[in-house]
Amino acid sequence: MRFLFKTDYEDDIRLFPHSGYFVSYGLLLAVLLIAPYVLSSYVMSQLVFVCIYATVGVALLILTGFTGQASLGHAAFLAIGAYTAAYLQKYNVPFPIYFLAAGVLTGLIGAMVGFPALRLTGIYLVIATISFALIVEEILARWESVTNGNEGMRVKAVSLLGVTVSRDSPTFYFLCLAVLVLTIVGTLNLLRSPTGRAFVAIRDSETAARSMGVNVALYKVKSYAISAAITGFAGVLFAHKLSFISPEMFTLQLSIEFIIVILIGGTFSLHGAVLGAIFIVMIDPFLTYLKDDMPGIIAGVAATFGAGTQSAANVQSKVAAFASLNGLKGAIYGIIIVLFVLFEPLGLYGRWLKIKLFFQLFPLYKRATFKRQKIYVKSERNR
């Protein structure tokens, strides 16, 4: 175990507290940089989605994890970013400009959504953001002159400095990775400066934040704007990756997926967004596996244990029918959320920290270290 001996105020400010971080993050970066030349194109495609989901996850963490404002409307921000890109691309606007424009426009709309949030808390705020998402979805379907309605829009490949970057090329992956890394670094910078601390203050006690001089309304709107802008950037990449966008891609289920990203990853640290993104992107291959291979395997196991050909085939068709049920994905999402909230509210990253601590303290780890307890002294009077 390493004991940090701080000798300078710089020690509390720098992003990497000690040299070990350079080694581990350097290795991670090296692996990510050589990945496109080693891994298959399918895995690379999944990695691009991990980058995009993680970017949205970081955006949602700023809003929900650090400012404490719930949002089930991030699919709408993603859609606004994606459609801005698709629309401006039609008029031959270059990539860097429509990329920025998408972020700025989404940020402005995010700030507008932030205003009702000033008066709403908890479940009411969630309902307000859901209705915002539904309104956007409806506008996308109806405003045909701009969005092409339910027929959707084609998105051509990125054209960067005169070079066409195909959506499956390593360059596009590096672009997504760069956006993710820049987002994370920017967010970390924000969190170690007055604005980030004001966000955390608002999350934990609005009254105290106010009496310490934090303009709560202004910072809530700022938080919404930043979160929406980042999601807008991610939306541009999302549109390019899919090369086709239509309103039914940006449904409530996508917003819930983003919530799952941070809930499963862990809401207290940016690591959570990345871990959660990896998890959520892996669900689709898992479902495919469930559909394609699982029935055969279970039938095989049944046959090994003495089931006749007839009954084994029967089992296989039953399992196959179950695996291709409509809404199975939603049910799996629901179960995952419930299990994580019940058993690991700190998410995957929290679990990882516990495992790390176990080995650091081995054999002195106490089982009750992370035992949850209720705290009764908190007052709700001055909300």
Stretch in the footprint of other proteins (CB under 8 A) among 127-135, 203-211, 251-259, 299-307: 203-211
Q: Are 323 and 288 in contact (CB under 8 A)?
A: no
Site string for other proteins, 5-34 (x = CB under 8 A): ----xx-xx---------------------
Stretch in the footprint of other proteins (CB under 8 A) among 73-81, 167-175, 199-207, 288-296: 199-207
229 near other proteins (CB under 8 A)? no
Q: Which of residues 268-307 bind other proteins (CB under 8 A)?
A: 268
- Name which of 72, 107, 91, 83 is nearest 242 in CA terms: 83
- Name which of 206, 204, 238, 249 is nearest 65 in CA terms: 204
Stretch in the footprint of other proteins (CB under 8 A) among 52-60, 79-87, 116-124, 191-199: 191-199
Cβ proximity to other proteins, 211 vs 317, nearer residue = 211
Cβ proximity to other proteins, 208 vs 301, nearer residue = 208
User: How near is the Cβ of 103 to other proteins at its closest, in Å?
Assistant: 12
Beta strands in the chain (DSSP E): 153-154, 158-160, 163-165, 244-245
As a whole number of angstroms, the distance between CA 53 and CA 57 comes to 6
Count of residues that bind other proteins according to CB under 8 A: 38
Cβ proximity to other proteins, 200 vs 252, nearer residue = 200
User: How near is the Cβ of 301 to other proteins at its closest, in Å?
Assistant: 47
Stretch in the footprint of other proteins (CB under 8 A) among 39-47, 85-93, 159-167, 204-212: 204-212
- Read out DSSP for 321-334? HHHT-TTHHHHHHH
Which residues, other chains included, contact 381 with Cβ-Cβ below 8 Å and sequence gap of 6+?
none
In this chain, which of 50, 198, 234, 278 binds other proteins, going by CB under 8 A? 198
As a whole number of angstroms, the distance between CA 74 and CA 120 comes to 17
As a whole number of angstroms, the distance between CA 163 and CA 95 comes to 11
In this chain, which of 41, 131, 166, 207 binds other proteins, going by CB under 8 A? 207
Q: Are 232 and 67 in contact (CB under 8 A)?
A: no
As a whole number of angstroms, the distance between CA 243 and CA 241 comes to 6
Q: What is the largest CA-CA distance in the chain?
A: 75
Stretch in the footprint of other proteins (CB under 8 A) among 51-59, 117-125, 183-191, 325-333: 183-191
**Long-range contacts formed by 374-383: CB under 8 A, 24+ apart:** 382/207, 383/121, 383/206, 383/207
Which residues, other chains included, contact 52 with Cβ-Cβ below 8 Å and sequence gap of 6+?
176, 234, 237, 238, 241
In this chain, which of 155, 214, 249, 261 binds other proteins, going by CB under 8 A? 214
User: How near is the Cβ of 8 to other proteins at its closest, in Å?
Assistant: 9
Cβ proximity to other proteins, 47 vs 262, nearer residue = 262
Q: Which residues bind other proteins (CB under 8 A)?
A: 9-10, 12-13, 186, 189-190, 192-198, 200-201, 203-205, 207-216, 222, 226, 268, 375, 377-379, 381-382
